[in-house]
Amino acid sequence: MTPAARVQAAIEVLDAMAGAQAAEQALTRWARGARYAGSKDRAAVRDHVFSVLRRRRSCAALGGGETGRALMLGHVRDEGGDPETTFTGEGHAPTPLTAEERSAGGPPAPDEARDLPDWLWSRFEADLGAEATAAAAALRHRAPVFLRHNPRLKTIPDVLEMLSKDGISAEPMPEIDGALHVTESSRRVAQAEAFREGHVELQDASSQAAMAAVPVPPGARVLDFCAGGGGKVLALAARHEGTWFAHDAAPERMRDLPARAARAGVTVTSLAPDAVAGAAPFDIVLCDVPCSGSGTWRRTPEAKWALTPDRLEALCATQRDILEHAQGLVRPGGLLVYTTCSVLAEENEAQVAAFEAAHPGWRREDTRRWPISDRGDGFYLATLRKP
């Protein structure tokens, strides 16, 4: 595919999304119908679509509209390209620009250039203060890629050599033990020998730092209560011996966990919802609760446009319910760990404060925030000791 044909494909995917298809669904359907598209073509089209989703308001302003064609016109302008050389109508390129399209659009206004819904920007200002502008700006760009080294299997130099043989460049992050920043060929990670054999796992650096901050004593019984794919319990289990459990309200999310744990050289027992109480109490219960994901919107950019105040309120109610249930699973003197990948205070500090008010005697031992940056996603951690 030519570069212009890739732009036309992105237009079609964005238009399909306007018809209520999710980004991944629209990209998959396009790829199935485009047998001629190679892996580099598919990656390029995906990059176009996700770049537009990160910058939807500014692309709409620059392109003069919300259609896939207008958004991609705005994207080309935003990237400093010449639309006349892309919108040529030649081959599979987009049709030439009309006179109206040539004159439409202009530099985004300050509120458009932030690329956040207005109601969310007010939350960012209130919760992040002087850091709000930097956080919004970071969400307009692609997220960095990080790996977590598994110390049970090989040394970091050995792993770096394995990655290099597969054409992947990475460098250790001195501030986070075991974290590796992928600097080249991140798309090859899933096929790399080091990944397939469990020497590394894909995990954001902030998430790794948060798990490293959890004080897990050797031999502890630990439950990851909202496990999802299980990345966080695997990070905890990589540190030393313990008894590890995972639970999720949607057990199918954990279907790959047994294989991942086996590759990593650890045992994680998956608990069905009706089996959790019987396995309690636990020394540590980790609650990585469902949240807005506002700290990770570089990776899932359509989520920042889909979130509504009502949806955020519902998520906060779910978070409160999870904390209330999970606290009963912690042994006396044990630890409740609350984490989100959100930067919003109502999902973080406000939830912990409400829990403390409802449960006198619990002692908060640690609270940490990680900003959205080139060193990781936005993340929040609080640890509470049961009386």
Sheet strands side by side (includes 179-184): 169-172, 179-184, 145-149, 200-202
Q: Cα–Cα distance between 318 and 315 in angstroms, integer?
A: 5
Q: Cα–Cα distance between 363 and 225 in angstroms, integer?
A: 20
> Strands 282-288 and 221-224, how do they pair?
parallel
316 catalytically annotated = no
Q: Tokens at residue 344, please?
A: 């919003």
CA distance from start to end of the chain: 63
Q: Tokens at residue 283, please?
A: 């020394």
Residue 182 identity (one-letter amino acid):
V
Q: Which of 349, 361, 291 minimizes the C-alpha distance to 322?
A: 291
Question: Which of 59, 226, 316, 341 is flagged as catalytic?
Answer: 341
Q: Cα–Cα distance between 101 and 109 in angstroms, integer?
A: 19
Q: Cα–Cα distance between 371 and 50 in angstroms, integer?
A: 21
Q: Cα–Cα distance between 127 and 124 in angstroms, integer?
A: 5
Q: Cα–Cα distance between 295 and 378 in angstroms, integer?
A: 4
State which H helix or E strand residue 179 sits in: strand 179-184
Q: Name residue 240's beta-bridge partners.
A: none
Are the C-beta atoms of residues 120 and 297 closer than 8 Å to each other? no
- As annotated, the active-site residues are 341
